[in-house]
Structure 1
């Protein structure tokens, strides 16, 4: 997640919440298609992939670095193995993010890439659900590798595992009705650059983007919630009264985590709603939910390593995002947008 020192650079006041509306869902969590896909999300695969993504050979995945590119190549190889391709309009898994687009705050960064994988919907292919995570981290400092296992290796492997689950369902004839874009963005740590670039140069029209589920740090716990089975969910009712209901129902029917809404408070001094990649969708009035485990003692330190991850809670949180995405992708109508983003 973007460093706490940068949060004040993002403008915006608290977003208005709105009255409840009907969810009009025809979806059940008892169907075989859902169950098989849900159960395909495993601790073992998440752990195996995270030890690669956050391994020393990736050298902390600094934006535009050889280590980040190596991590991206691994991710693409996994998508190919799953049988998942890229958006045809893009022509490859890569969306180049040029250095010129990443020059805020007095930094000069090299060219980098967002990585996009895509599963086309069977009934409403032009409506898009975006599931995102950033795959960059802060690189190396004074010879020490900042592995970024939680930030955001955990989100990166979760998105990959969710994609595999949707693809397994599709192979069995239970493909999503709406299309799903699996978006791995670059440059988050320096200023949300990759997601900003995507929202300014979308592969699919933003008007057709139904929602963004963003995952940034879901493999640890913070001191306030030590040992609890929880996740912070941020922004889920800011722009759509449907989305929070869908998230809560998905949770109740599956993993039953404690959903913590502390950071929905507009007065919260950490302003986390503005500090990860979902915000570049929310500023375009696209409903978002941001899944987060909190600021822990290894945040932005070289001690954020794969051995510190709680793989059981990582698996449960990944399953929650999958269940929420499944409902968003398969419900009769797209969710309402009945809030307003006050930038």
Structure 2
């Protein structure tokens, strides 16, 4: 699940609201079903639940997750051999289950190239008082844009001092501690979260004041975060050509400037030991250059053909992503960001569902898509939505599993359950019925609200399909403190809960695949805030 940058103060407010007020925030549609599931078991109607549901077993799910999210997979980072290793493993599991390949050249793989843009280590230079500085060792460019800064340094001992006119000047100043409420509570390590919040506030402050360049001197916390921050920023940014949009206002690559130039004030972070040199008002010179190249990633695609000779040409798409963050910096002695919950849980849920569908086929076909490079910006799903392996008009629903194995045993979220995110009341109704018959989770709809500061709905692989008017929902148990850290390991997963989530997701697809009519798009649906 890729990160966005919500206002951390809003994140804290949302978490406070969730803990202070009743945990369940239901729309009219979810209230009855949620209360029914919580109050008493719902007996299935005759023939409503397939016998194959019993084939979804906790032992299989646990075995698969330890294999996929173990340290041997090295975090499955997109564009690396580790993502390829995980992708091949997933394809082998699908083959053994009996899922047929529908990818390129009769394989399980739909290949695409990530367009990667990063600061060039070779061409980017820096100097202070004529003495060279090395990028990523002595200074960190606080942006992924080309920039040129050249001029005498104005030392500002107190960044909060507004009496000094800094317009058009290169300013060096100690990093101010951020407002504690502005620091995110999840993702990465506390020192990095602190530094990112501090840097963001300082950049905004001096951009408003019109500085020509900004050199931020790390405080002790930022000094500790310096090398981890390098590990995160050196990767750059990613995109994919000829792809569907994630956001309505997302520019096409043809609209992006090449090379990109720094918007606003170019800024750099230096180590705390640099302060004495900067106080001597030397001339600072920075030249940031970018490099762009292509790196392969892949979607893994397979199908179980339906049993009905007419309906088998329609497809229920089960969605996950196989990549995560790879090997990064040490936290508590561990550098493998394994991504057991994000998104090993969704991935093994698809394998378990495939075993059930392979033994008892529904009327419509079941299409399994493991999207590559989700963590780089939903690249695989954006590519497949634009180049689907079956006609897009024949995809009747997308069921996306993302982070399904943590937090309270009886709580979960179904994203796409309420407007403006709900695009198919028919699909939501089937999903709620399936929950009542399987997981019986109490559904927290707070995370599905357009006002939620995490922007959770827009951060996973169902979004490009929903934007193209394919009925779509996302199954999740939401964020936790181990999100995007090396602590997201298989041993921290609640396997009984993950099994219930998998059965819920499977049964929803069974209902969709056997319904006389495909789920309809709600009239007037428009996926905008």
Output the TM-score relative to the length of structure 1: 0.86
Q: Which residue of 2 aligns with 1:255?
A: 439
Evaluate the alpha carbon distance shift between residue 29 and residue 86 of structure 1 in structure 2; reply closer, same or farther with a 3 A threshold. farther
2:450 is aligned to: 266
Are residues 252 and 90 of structure 1, via their aligned partners in 2, closer, same or farther at CA, if it must alter by over 3 Å? farther
1:147 maps onto 2:338 in alignment: yes
The answer as to 2:387 corresponding to 1:206 is no
> Following the alignment from structure 1 to structure 2, what is the Cα–Cα distance between the partners of residues 204 and 126?
9
1:129 deviates by 0.8
* Greater share of residues in strand: 2
SS in 2 for 1:60: coil
Q: 1:236 aligns with which of 417, 420, 426?
A: 417
Contact 1:134 1:186 in 2 (8 A): yes
Cα deviation 1:88-112 (Å, max 9, x = unaligned): 7761100001134953798756201
2:322 is the alignment partner of 1:135: yes
Structure 1 position 200, deviation (Å): 1.0
| Counterpart-to-counterpart distance in 1, 2:70 and 2:101 | 25
Residue number in structure 1 paired with 2:380: 194
Give the match for residue 239 of structure 2: 103
Alignment of 1:309-320 (within 5 A): 309-320=493-504
Query: Cα 1:194–1:321, aligned 2, differ >3 Å: closer, same or farther?
Result: same
Once the two structures are superposed, residues 163-196 of structure 1 have per-residue CA deviations (whole angstroms, 9 ceiling, x without a partner) of: 1110011xxxxx1111111110011111000000
Contact kept in structure 2, 1:230 and 1:260, CA below 8 Å: yes
Q: 1 CA distance for matches of 2:521 and 2:492?
A: 39
Q: 2:409 touches 2:494 (CA, 8 Å); kept in 1?
A: no
1:2 corresponds to: 2
* 1:302 Cα offset (Å): 0.4
Q: Which runs of 5+ in 1 are unaligned?
A: 8-16, 21-27, 170-174, 222-226
Structure ranking higher in helix proportion:
1
Q: Give 1:142 deviation, angstroms.
A: 3.0
How far residue 318 of structure 1 moved from its aligned partner, in angstroms, is: 0.3
CA gap of 1:19–1:48, structure 2 versus 1, over 3 A, is: closer
- Is the CA contact 1:236–1:288 (under 8 Å) kept in the aligned structure 2? no
- Are residues 90 and 327 of structure 1, via their aligned partners in 2, closer, same or farther at CA, if it must alter by over 3 Å? farther
Counterpart position of 1:157: 348
User: Over residues 41-80 of structure 1, what are the superposed CA-to-partner deviations in whole Å (9 max), with x where a residue is unaligned?
Assistant: 0110000000010011111000021122111121111112
Query: Is 1:70 matched with 2:85?
Result: yes
SS in structure 2 at match of 1:270:
coil
How many Å apart are 1:4 and its aligned residue? Answer: 3.1
CA contact (8 A) 1:236 1:287 kept: no
Once the two structures are superposed, what CA deviation does each residue of 1:279-319 show, in whole Å capped at 9, x if it has no partner? 01111011111111111010000010000000000000000
Higher RCO (CA < 8 A, seq sep 6+)? 1
Q: For the Cα contact (< 8 Å) 1:29–1:35, is it kept in 2?
A: no
Query: 1:18 and 1:128 mapped to 2: Cα distance?
Result: 29
Distance in 2 separating the partners of 1:19 and 1:231: 16
The DSSP-based 3-state class of the residue aligned with 2:480 is coil
Q: 1:89 to 1:113 in 2, by over 3 A?
A: closer
Give the Cα separation in 2 of the matches to 1:108 and 1:62: 17
Cα separation, 2, equivalents of 1:133 and 1:88: 16
- Paired position in structure 2 for 1:121: 306
Q: Distance in 1 between matches of 2:413 and 2:29?
A: 22
Per the alignment, residue 13 of structure 2 pairs with none
Aligned length: 316
In the superposition, the TM-score normalised over structure 2's length comes to 0.57
The gaps in structure 2 that reach 5 residues or longer are 8-26, 31-43, 117-237, 241-255, 257-289
- The answer to whether the Cα contact below 8 Å between 1:2 and 1:191 also exists between their aligned partners in 2 is yes
